[in-house]
Amino acid sequence: MTSSTPASFTTGTADGLPETEKNAGESENTYILRPIFQQRFRPSVVKECIHAVLKEELANAEYSPEEMPQLTKRLSETIKDKLKEMGFDRYKMVVQVVIGEQRGEGVFMAARCFWDADTDNYTCDVFMNDSLFCVVAAFGCFYY
């Protein structure tokens, strides 16, 4: 049994990093402890987005070890950019893309987060075809 090593790439981005504390003399802070409701990280929406991207990008994809690193990077960037456009204000997005070959082996992936469960959330989407599987996990961490 040969094991295909999944190629993965993770991008993180600081979205809307506030420069408010720049002023040295400022005594008031601008912390926002809870996101505006409309700007909350909504897993379903994000999942749709991810799914759309995966469907578009991986429709006819075949697993090839050489291309996968680039593909994961591209995918993660694409998804990250899309998520940024979705207006989750003050959210830091972490997008992780894992692509592995489908050869019949069992795969188990899990994630665990140390976060503020009130504000932060995650979603993941899986795309599979005959030759590969692609797991995308997007984590949204609120930047207070």
Count of CA atoms in the C-beta half-sphere (13 A) of 130: 1
Q: How far is the CB of 102 from another protein (least distance, A)?
A: 8
- What is each CA distance from 74 to 9, 32, 39, in whole angstroms? 9, 32, 26
Q: Based on CB atoms, which residue is closest to another protein, 31 or 52?
A: 31
User: 63 and 6 in contact (C-beta within 8 Å)?
Assistant: no
Q: Based on CB atoms, which residue is closest to another protein, 83 or 85?
A: 83
Q: Based on CB atoms, which residue is closest to another protein, 91 or 133?
A: 133
Q: Is 12 exposed, middle or buried (0-12, 13-18, 19+ CB in 10 A)?
A: middle
CA-to-CA distance for 116 and 31, rounded, in angstroms?
15
Total interface residues for another protein by CB under 8 A: 31
> Does the protein bind another protein through residue 108 (CB under 8 A)?
yes
φ, ψ of residue 60 to 5 degrees: the values are -120, 30
The residues in 18-77 that bind another protein, with binding defined as CB under 8 A, are 21-22, 24-25, 27, 29, 31, 33
Q: Based on CB atoms, which residue is closest to another protein, 25 or 59?
A: 25
Enumerate binding residues for another protein (CB under 8 A): 21-22, 24-25, 27, 29, 31, 33, 98, 104-117, 122, 124, 126, 130, 133, 135, 137, 144
